[in-house]
Amino acid sequence: MTIEEEACQRQAKAYDIIRETNLIPIWESIGAEIRQVGSLRMGLLMKHLDIDFHIYSAPINVSQSFAAMAKLAENKRIQRIEYRNLIDTDEQCIEWHAWYLDTDNELWQLDLIHILKSSFYDGYFENIADHIISILTPETKHIILQLKQETPAEEKIMGIEYYKAVLQSGVRTYPELLTWRAQNPVTGIMEW
């Protein structure tokens, strides 16, 4: 199986999880707009099993946000949920993380960021994803998937680091990625 075929299988499973959890209708039921972001949206999901969504409403109602997550928690495959209230920060959001145990006993992380509509980050990461999609080639996609596959499980590298390193700086190997990361340390949200 090629690395691209493996990535396609992972991505198909991710979309099954989205459907099975009823994730999108749950958030729409509280009047929020939900948009997919991250590696799954770009076709770059590989080894790190995460599904990213940004959810927008104005104002952000903490009780409604909790109500949506309570509906999600009714799914017996949801193992754990974390909450962070960042409404009064520059991010203007509630950060939710939920862990879903699939039928193969693999644990998926659902990153659900509830953002104030019309705030600075409204659409920000969607625009980055669109930009990455527009400049990806079959070669650079393969390199990114390969780098993700080679990354040891205990090494935490944000997706945007791979994308910037490969697409902007020409990184092609894992040792080059490590050197690039040492020269470009992440502090907070990495912008592009």
Q: What is the pLDDT of residues 132-187, one digit of tens each?
A: 999 999 999 999 999 999 999 899 899 999 999 999 999 999 999 999 999 998 87
pLDDT at 191 over 80: no
With residue 50 as reference, give the H or E element that holds it.
strand 50-57
| 69 HSE (CA, 13 A, CB side) | 24
Mean pLDDT of 116-129: 94
In a domain, 189, yes or no: no
pLDDT at 190 over 80: no
Same domain, 11 and 55: yes
In a domain, 35, yes or no: yes
Looking at the chain, the whole-number percentage of residues with pLDDT higher than 70 is 97
Host domain of residue 153: 136-183
- Please state at what angle helix 174-183 crosses helix 138-150, rounded to 10 degrees: 80
pLDDT at 192 over 80: no
pLDDT of residue 41: 96
- Strand bridging mode 50-57 / 107-116: parallel
* Rounded Cα gap, residues 56 and 38, in angstroms: 16
Same domain, 53 and 86: yes
Same domain, 116 and 153: no
pTM of the model: 0.92
Same domain, 11 and 94: yes
pLDDT of residue 186: 84
pLDDT of residue 105: 97
Please name the residue ranges forming H helices in the chain. 3-21, 23-28, 38-42, 62-73, 124-135, 138-150, 159-163, 174-183
Q: What is the mean pLDDT of the chain?
A: 95
Same domain, 14 and 102: yes
pLDDT at 72 over 70: yes
pLDDT of residue 75: 98
Mean pLDDT of 85-103: 97
pLDDT at 55 over 70: yes
Quick check: 56 and 43 in contact, CB under 8 A?
Answer: no
Same domain, 59 and 113: yes
CATH number of the domain residue 52 falls in: 3.30.460.10
